Amino acid sequence: MLKERVMANTEITTELDSQGEKYCAATPSVVGDSEIEIISHSLIKLNNREDNAGKGVSISLKNISDADIGKLVFDTTFFDYNGVVIDRCESTIKDLLKQQKRLVNIGVNTLVDAVVYSYHVQIKELVHTPAPTVTGNDKILILKHSLRDTDNDNPQIMMWSYIDISIRNNSDETIASAMFDAVLYDSEGEVLDTIKHRECELLPNHSRMITIGTNKVKSGTAKSYRVNLIKTINSDTEKFQLKGHRMNTTVDGEEISGTIKNISKYKADAILVATFKDYKDENISVRVYSIKDVEPGTIRNFHFMFNPPDGEVVRKLSFEFAEVITDL
C-alpha cells in the first residue's frame, strides 16, 4: 500500500463524516487542457457505506479539438480520508472523435485494502489520429475521399477496410495509367498496411470513383490513411493496355489467350512481351508476339501456344508492351 502525503499543490479540506467526526482529504480534482474539456466528475460511491467513501472516480469529458484523438492516457491518484495516497494508476481510452463526449470510470486497484475519499486526475499523454489525406497533381484532381468499413453479420466472412476516392482527369488528354501509393493507419498513427494501386484509362475531363483495398486490415481497424498520386502516364507513351488473359495447360503445351486495347489516338502495332516463370519465380523463357494494325479505341483478342523446355513447369505469366524503335 502506498503511504505518501498529498501533493503540495493539492488543497486539503476538512469535512464531517456521517458520524459527525472530522476527516481531512484532498479536494477532488480532474485537470483538462485546451483539447479536453472536463464537464463533470464525481466519486463512484460504495453502496454499503453511509459516509462519503468510494471505489473510484467517474469523469464526463469532451474532445473540444478539431481532430480525432486516438489515445488519451490519464494519471490518477487516489487518497484516503487522511489525504494519504493509497493508489496510483494509469488508464487509457481510445478513439475519441472530435467534439465527442465520453463517460470514463477509473477504479482503485481491487488489491488495495482502503476506500477512496478523494482523487486527482490529470492527462499524461494525448495522441491524435492522423488526418486522412489524398494528394493529386496538375492532371488528376481529388474531388472527395473517405474510409469505408464493410459490415457483415456472418463472422465466418472476413471483411476488409477500403479507401474510396473520387478523382477527375482535369487535362485534355487520356491518362493511360495513374499510380497511387496508399498507407492505412490505426487510431494512434501506426502503419497497418501499404498498398500500390494502378488506375487505367482515364478519359479527358471525366470523373471516376476508385477503391483502394487491402487484404491485411480488418474492417473497423483502420482509422485513417494517406494516399499520394506518384505518377501519371499519358496514352502517347502507353498506347496499349492488357484487359485480361488466361493460361490453360494442355497436352500440346500452355495455351495463352487474352485481350488488349489501343487507348491512343492512332492505329498501331502492339508488341506483346510474355515472360514465363517457374515456382521459384525464376525465368523460364521470354516470348515476343506482334498484333498488327490495332485501330484506336478498339479491343483485339490474341491467342498463341507456348511449349516450355523439357523439365520446366510454368507457374506464372506476366506481360509487358514493347516499343519498336526505328533508326532514321
Query: Can you give the three-state secondary structure of the chain, one letter per residue?
Result: CCCEECCCCCCEEEEECCCCCEEEEECCEEECCCCEEEEEEEEEECCCCCCCCEEEEEEEEEECCCCCEEEEEEEEEEECCCCEEEEEEEEEEEEECCCCEEEEEEECCCCCCCCECEEEEEEEEEEECCCCEEECCCCEEEEEEEEEECCCCCCCCCCEEEEEEEEEECCCCCEEEEEEEEEEECCCCCEEEEEEEEEEEECCCCEEEEEEEEEEEECCCCCEEEEEEEEEEECCCCCEEEEEEEEEEECCEEEEEEEEEECCCCCEEEEEEEEEECCCCCEEEEEEEEEEEECCCCEEEEEEEECCCCCCCCCEEEEEEECCCCCC
Tens place of pLDDT for every residue, the chain, 328 residues? 344 444 434 444 444 444 444 445 678 999 999 999 999 999 999 887 777 788 999 999 999 999 999 999 999 999 998 889 999 999 999 999 999 999 999 999 888 888 899 999 999 999 999 999 999 999 999 999 999 876 655 555 568 899 999 999 999 999 999 999 999 999 999 999 999 999 999 999 999 999 999 989 988 899 999 999 999 999 988 999 999 999 999 988 999 999 999 999 889 999 999 999 999 999 999 999 999 999 999 999 999 999 999 889 999 999 999 875 545 4
Q: Which cell is 151 given?
A: 459490415
Please report the pLDDT score of residue 105 as a whole number. Answer: 97
- What is the number of other CB atoms lying within 10 angstroms of the CB of residue 202? 27
- The residues that bridge with 66 in the sheet, in sequence order, are none
Determine the CATH number of domain 133-234: 2.60.40.10
Domain borders along the chain are 4-128, 133-234, 240-322
Phi-psi region of 43 (alpha: psi -120 to 50; beta: other; left: phi over 0): beta
Please report the pLDDT score of residue 328 as a whole number. Answer: 45
Please report the pLDDT score of residue 150 as a whole number. Answer: 66
Please report the pLDDT score of residue 12 as a whole number. Answer: 43
Please report the pLDDT score of residue 18 as a whole number. Answer: 42
- The residues that bridge with 165 in the sheet, in sequence order, are 145, 210
Please report the pLDDT score of residue 153 as a whole number. Answer: 58
- What is the number of other CB atoms lying within 10 angstroms of the CB of residue 277? 16
240-322 and 133-234 share a CATH fold: yes
Closest CA to 170 of 137, 212, 146, 209: 137
Q: Which cell is 172 given?
A: 485534355
CATH architecture classification, 4-128? Sandwich (2.60)
CATH architecture classification, 240-322? Sandwich (2.60)
pTM for the full model? 0.77
